[in-house]
Amino acid sequence: MKPPTKVGMAHSYLPHETDLLLQALNAADTHPGYDEYRYNIAAVGHDPYAMLAYLTAKHDNFTFAKVQGELQNIFNQQYSLTFTRIVEVRSYTIHWTDEDGNRHSERIYYNYYILQTTLTARPFEEVILPLLTTQDEQDRYEIYMFLHGNRQYLGSPFDFCWLPRVTSYYGYRVHPISGEKDYHTGVDIAVSIGTDIQAGGKGVVLESGYNGGYGLCLLVDYGNGISARYAHCSALLKGVGQTVELGEIIALSGNSGNSTGPHLHVECVKNGRYLNPLYFIDGTIN
């Protein structure tokens, strides 16, 4: 099976956020020679619903090329990264005895060099809301935020609202294990081991079992070019070739298999392209 293609607005903003965070975290490598490195790193991230709601309210139909400069301006207003050189005068005392048996002490002073790395971040909506300059733009923004795009292809994997439980979003990120830049093809949802996972519609199971970094996972074909993968499960309740119905319990979640903690990793694919599950899988109560 050909791997899906990675697409989406994550290509426009998340890479910059990831690079900025890595630039801050790697200060010791890029600024060698200091005695100490201090870090004050704010949380990096933005609400993807707010981004698309803002761009749609502002421009209706748009391309990345059209809004690239605007997104860079928003990014520059949201984040600030500084490296500050601090010099502290420190001292230590040395003691010695001369040839006549007399003891002496001397205070030695020296410069102690510190690099203070500070990454500040304003809330994303604090930056974009003043840019909605007309009442029509503001009203449309509120509607788009309420509807969350209104393009959910699949039902929720849970019987509760999972949006506040997302611990790792779709797109570029700093990998929680390797610490390197990584493209996340789904979303991670923090849930306890044994949490029921529901089918997102009527479909057929294409894969059921252990699959490398996915751990125990199900891949379900929902038709019309749409499929979803449910990974890091603790138990699978459906086998290859079996059918599923909307809301049917198909697996149990919560076994991460690594140090990231219990969660469900869910992916959404349409016609061979990864989609952001936040937009295309229902996140509210069924």
Q: Which amino acid is at 284?
A: T
pLDDT of 140 reads 92
How many Å apart are CA 17 and CA 10, to the nearest integer?
Answer: 10
132 in the same domain as 12: yes
Q: Mark which of 128, 149, 170 sits at the end of a domain.
A: 149
> Are 122 and 141 part of one and the same domain?
yes
Domain span at 144: 1-149
| 20 and 55 belong to one structural domain | yes
Q: What percent of the chain has pLDDT over 90?
A: 64
Do 118 and 229 lie in one domain? The reply is no
Same domain, yes or no, for 249 and 229?
yes
185 and 138 within one domain: no
Query: Angle CA(67)–CA(167)–CA(120) in degrees, nearest 5?
Result: 55
Tell me the DSSP string of 213-280: GG-EEEEEEEETTEEEEEEEEEEE---TT-EE-TT-EEEEE---SSTT-SEEEEEEEETTEEE-HHHH
Number of domains the chain contains: 2
Residues 52-96: tens digit of each pLDDT: 899 999 998 888 888 989 999 999 999 999 999 999 999 999 999
Of 101, 117, 149, which closes a domain? Answer: 149
Whether 170 and 258 map to the same domain: the answer is: yes
Does one domain contain both 10 and 113? yes
Give the span between the Cα atoms of 37 and 30, in whole angstroms: 12
Q: pLDDT for 133-175, tens place per residue?
A: 999 999 999 988 887 666 788 999 999 999 889 988 888 888 7
Measured between alpha carbons, how far is 219 from 231 in angstroms, rounded to an integer? 9
Last residue of a domain, one of 115, 149, 183: 149
- Judgement on whether residues 1 and 139 belong to the same structural domain of the protein: yes
Reported as type and span, the H/E element at residue 99 is none
- The gap from C-alpha 5 to its chain's centroid, in whole angstroms, comes to 19
Percentage, residues of the chain above pLDDT 70 = 91
